[in-house]
Amino acid sequence: MSISDSSHGGNIGRAAREYGLSEKQIIDFSASINPLGPAPGVYRAVTEALWRIKHYPDPGCGDLPRLLADYLGVGRENLLLGNGGAELIYILPRALKIRRALVAAPTFSEYARAVEAAGGRVRYITLPVSGTAFPAGEAAGHLAGCDAVFLCNPNNPTGQLFSPGDLMPLLDAAEGAGAAVVVDEAFMDFVAGREDFTLMPLACARRNLVVLYSMTKFFGIPGLRLGAAVACPEVIGRLKQLKDPWSVNALARVAGEAALRDESHMAETLKTVKEEREYLFSTLSSVPGLRPFPSEANFLLVDVSGTGMKSAELVEKLAAMGILVRNCANFYGLNESYIRVAVKTRPENESLVRALEKTIRTWLSGRPVFSSRLYKNR
């Protein structure tokens, strides 16, 4: 199996083995993590807490629930911490008795996998890859027989951001149909003015709404796994009954506490992501054959069909150069025309652009017949 066949991004160890590189030589654009990494205090906190690994973790997670609830603007009773958002995604189908789910695609594949792992079935509504209006009416028309709807906001891998006004008709229709709505806000922290877009305040009051949250992306700690669910107390209680009491390990807990106390790092992250996303979008738009889509998250979806290469071919060629990007061919609703690239620091982004330009130029120079459309952005 090649690196382009990976179900998810971020497997730098596998890429290093496959291409004879050291992990430190690889620039990973396949996983969408804070380009600045964790706040400096996170490293200190983890180092100072190493002695804790000889003890069981605190099931109450110390100060983390209070700090996170304050940061998110929700009540402590509306919050449940987990071993990354993925643990909670897999608990949800059992806790909410989801047998049939509607998934708004293309999106994160684990929603469907979690439902199917619990013995349920999935059907999809396909979203356009550009635009910001969520087709709530169309989604509501597919609710018959469904116990839940899953969607991601901002959406992964498209970067589309939907407003509460866009989603309210779906929430109301789902409530009338007796279905839950699960909204994954794993990338909402990267949105300027997130408080105007998050559905967390609604989730605290509505019995049919669950909002998922991840600390791994914005706070740069995917290796430690830390996430949360926000919902009304009744739903939180049902989720808690199915969750391992020690799933948040001691180091993840102190890392989360330190991260939430560093407001300057959060502000610098937002500034950097905005600037570098604009730079990357503009620069990729000028590369022959590439068409990036606007995004409100820390990544860009890119149509590569204008190069004449399939996404897997491009991913493999870049990986051999130490540049990992996400092949989006295995996202339901997409095909071999798309890759996703994370927004990183300026030097890293420049390396990506150079590698893409070189790869595409080399590919086009070796083609026996040229078409002028390959040199135009689509």
Say which residue the tokens 């949800």 belong to.
Answer: 92
Distance CA 248, CA 45 (A): 16
CB 29 within 8 A of CB 341: yes
Q: What is the pLDDT of residue 9?
A: 62
Are 133 and 47 contained in the same domain? yes
Are 18 and 108 contained in the same domain? no
Are 161 and 123 contained in the same domain? yes
CB 302 within 8 A of CB 338: yes
The answer to pTM > 0.85 is yes
Are 214 and 331 contained in the same domain? no
Are 15 and 65 contained in the same domain? no
Asked whether residue 274 is assigned to any structural domain, the reply reads yes
* Number of domains composing the chain: 2
Are 236 and 291 contained in the same domain? no
Are 117 and 56 contained in the same domain? yes
Say which residue the tokens 């922290």 belong to.
Answer: 189
Distance CA 167, CA 170 (A): 5
Q: What is the pLDDT of residue 367?
A: 63
CB 102 within 8 A of CB 173: no
Range(s) of the domain holding residue 358? 9-37+264-366
**Residue 53 belongs to a domain with what CATH number?**
3.40.640.10
Residue 15, helix vs strand vs coil? helix
Contacts 24+ apart (CB under 8 A), 122-130: 124/332, 124/333, 126/332, 126/333, 127/155, 127/158, 127/160, 127/333, 129/158, 129/293, 129/301, 129/303, 129/334, 129/338, 130/158, 130/160, 130/293, 130/294
Q: What is the pLDDT of residue 118?
A: 97
Q: What is the pLDDT of residue 366?
A: 74
CB 303 within 8 A of CB 338: yes
Are 111 and 94 contained in the same domain? yes
Q: What is the DSSP letter of 299?
A: E
Which of 106, 111, 98, 52 is CA-nearest to residue 254? 52
Which of 242, 266, 363, 226 is CA-nearest to residue 41? 266
Are 137 and 206 contained in the same domain? yes
Are 240 and 288 contained in the same domain? no
pLDDT in tens, the chain (378 residues): 455 555 666 677 787 788 777 777 899 999 999 999 999 999 999 999 999 999 999 999 999 999 999 999 999 999 999 999 999 999 999 999 999 999 999 999 999 999 999 999 999 999 999 877 888 888 999 999 999 999 999 999 999 999 999 999 999 999 999 999 999 999 999 999 999 999 999 999 999 999 999 999 999 999 999 999 999 999 999 999 999 999 999 999 999 999 999 999 999 999 999 999 999 999 999 999 999 999 999 999 999 999 999 999 999 999 999 999 999 999 999 999 999 999 999 999 999 999 999 999 998 887 644 333 333 333
CB 117 within 8 A of CB 90: yes
Alpha helices in the chain (DSSP H): 12-19, 40-48, 64-72, 84-95, 110-117, 136-140, 164-177, 200-203, 233-242, 250-260, 263-285, 311-319, 346-365
Are 58 and 118 contained in the same domain? yes
Residue 336, helix vs strand vs coil? coil
Which of 334, 300, 347 is CA-nearest to residue 105? 334
Q: Helices 84-95 and 233-242: crossing angle, nearest 10°?
A: 100
